[in-house]
Amino acid sequence: MKPSNLDGLHIRFFRSLDPSVVQGFVQAFCSRGPFCRPGLSMMQGSSVGQTLPTSMAAIAQESITTTTWGSVNGQEIKKFTLRNKACQEVDVITYGAVVTAIRTPDREGNLTDVVLGFDNIEGYLSSNNPYFGATIGRVANRIGKATFVVDGQRYNISKNNGENSLHGGTHGWSSKIWDATIQNDCVVMTLDSPDGDEGYPGSVTAIASFQLTNDGELRIEMKAHSKKATPINLTNHSYFNLAGHATNASELYKHVITMNADHWTVTDSESIPTGEIRSVANSIMNLTNPTKFGDVIDKVPNGGYDNNFCLPKSFNDGKVNFVAKVVHPSSGRRLEVYSNQPGVQLYTTNSVPENGIVGKDGAKYLRHAAFCLETQNYPDAVNHKNFPNSVLRPGNTYNHVVLYKFGVEN
């Protein structure tokens, strides 16, 4: 039966099914059938250019389903699956407000999960978890010597990276269970962080919302309010490999990256910024032109990129601006990143146990398995007056928008 023959009766039938059945049916069409292949789109304006036929899209479009995904200390963990008309899906869970999967088609319409992660909640609880897909807070990246001064008072926070604090401390927001609701086409997660959490001052209410648009954009918006002055710097820590999450370094090296960054923050031997903001010109940090990872990654000190890149100063206006573009030529998959933040951490998964990390589908993730583009304020900004302000004060709102836009190139 041709797709065009699916009338209203058929659509009502599919809508009456359990969501998991519909998901399996839709994935079968996306990954095996011809309906998501270029040239068969029934929808205008898609950056992917590949969609279900109109009647099938009526089943799948803009839907959000919820399932239980285990528990932590007796508290239920929820998984939300967002779907759009372009055969794309995103899974997020309430533990750590983590993005656990992003499924997007290649130029032939083959649907593949392009972020690293685990099959179950136990993986995310393990000590081997390098923050896969997590919402990081209160302060992403590092704070030197795990100490800072705000309004004349010194605060000592938890040390979990030698003498430094990394990604919010020992029990940062990536290991908290967030409350979640569905609001229109968004999953909205909230977290209350008490005064003194990991040593940070002030009680903070944080919100992280996730929206998957029909243009292939995963829009993540992170907001925070505090009752006392405190540093805030949130990010999403997804690990991407556009060839597929299980393909490792051999495919990562084929990716071509272009970054809209003219400077970077120099760091010491412990990856703490020295305070110097250096031009990328005439250096391995210059990624302003399309650059294949395989041509440069082994030339970077410490075995790969783990550096904060600075967007042009003219972009520090609070608006959402272009950050980076990455293409995997073989599959055609493309990722564009946009954000309203002044910096972005490029990380190429340099620090992995020698025997790897066992992830989804039994895949073994090895060194250089993926790349991260973590939009952020500059690391350790609270300790450097020449860095953008990172202190959130009562009455003000921290607002961080990042767009991960997926598409294909022919």
Q: What positions carry a catalytic annotation?
A: 237, 374
pLDDT at residue 223 above 90? yes
- Residue 237 is labelled as binding a ligand: yes
Adjacent-strand bridge partners of 306 = 347
Q: What is the pLDDT of residues 88-97, one digit of tens each?
A: 999 999 999 9
How many domains are contained in the chain? Answer: 1
Q: Which two tokens stand for residue 45?
A: 């304006």
Cα(359)–Cα(366) distance, rounded to whole angstroms? 10
Looking up tokens 């992280």 gives 208
Least confident segment among 47-51, 252-256, 359-363: 47-51
Share of the chain above pLDDT 70, in %: 84
Q: 129-151, pLDDT tens digit by residue?
A: 999 999 999 999 999 999 999 99
The answer to whether position 165 is within a domain reads yes
| SS3 assignment, position 338 | strand
Burial of residue 116 (number of CB atoms within 10 Å: 0-12, 13-18, 19+): buried
Mean pLDDT score across all residues of the chain: 89
The verdict on whether residue 10 carries a ligand-binding annotation is: no
- 209 pLDDT band, cuts 50/70/90, is very high
Task: For residue 277, tell me if it sits in a domain.
Answer: yes
At residue 46, the pLDDT reads 37
- Supply the range of the domain harboring residue 314: 64-408
At 279, phi and psi to the nearest 5?
-65, 145
Count the neighbouring beta carbons within 10 Å of the beta carbon of residue 5.
8
Residue 317's pLDDT is what? 73
Phi and psi at 342, nearest 5°, equal -80, -15
Q: Say whether pLDDT at 33 is over 60.
A: no
Q: Per-residue pLDDT averaged across 215-241, rounded? A: 99
Tens-digit pLDDT profile for residues 281-310 = 999 999 999 999 999 999 999 999 999 999
**271/310 Cα distance (integer angstroms):** 16
Tell whether 12 is covered by a domain.
no
Instruction: Find out whether 178 and 189 touch, Cβ atoms under 8 Å.
Output: yes
User: Can you tell me the distance from the alpha carbon of 369 to that of 268, in angstroms, rounded to the nearest whole number?
Assistant: 25
Q: Which tokens is 324 given?
A: 């980076």
pLDDT of residue 410: 87
**Pair of tokens at residue 240:** 């991407």
Interatomic CA distance for residues 366 and 372, integer angstroms: 15
Contact predicate 81/64, CB 8 Å: yes
What pLDDT is attached to residue 313?
81
Predicted pLDDT of residue 68 = 98
Whether residue 37 is contained in a domain is answered as no
Give the Cα separation of 126 and 314 in Å (integer).
42
Domain presence at residue 4: no
DSSP states of 101-160 as a string? EEEEE-TT--EEE-B---SSHHHHHSTT---TTEEE-SB-SEEGGGEEEETTEEEE----
pLDDT confidence of 318, banded at 50, 70, 90?
A: confident
- Cβ atoms of 376 and 309 within 8 Å: the answer is no
Tell me, rounded to whole angstroms, the distance of Cα 407 from its chain centroid.
Answer: 16
| C-alpha to C-alpha distances, 88 to 52, 103, 313, 402, nearest whole angstrom | 10, 6, 34, 18
Q: Is 37 annotated as a binding residue?
A: no
> Nearest 5°: phi and psi at 154?
-90, 140
Residue 17 lies in a domain: no
Quick one: how far is CA 210 from the chain centroid?
10
pLDDT of residue 90: 99
Q: Is 239 annotated as ligand-binding?
A: yes
Residue 226 lies in a domain: yes
Q: Is 142 annotated as a binding residue?
A: yes
To which residue do tokens 């060194």 refer? 367
CATH of the domain at 401: 2.70.98.10
Give me the pLDDT at residue 257, please: 99
Omega before residue 142 within 30° of 0, cis: no
Over residues 100-125, the pLDDT tens digits come to 999 999 999 999 999 999 999 999 99
Per the annotation, does 328 bind a ligand?
Answer: no
For tokens 């533990």, the residue is 95
> What is the predicted pLDDT for the residue at 399?
98
Query: Is the model's pLDDT at 20 over the cut of 90?
Result: no
pLDDT digits (tens, 9 = 90+) for 157-180: 999 999 999 999 999 999 999 999
Please say if the pLDDT value at position 54 is more than 60.
Answer: no
Does a structural domain hold residue 117?
yes
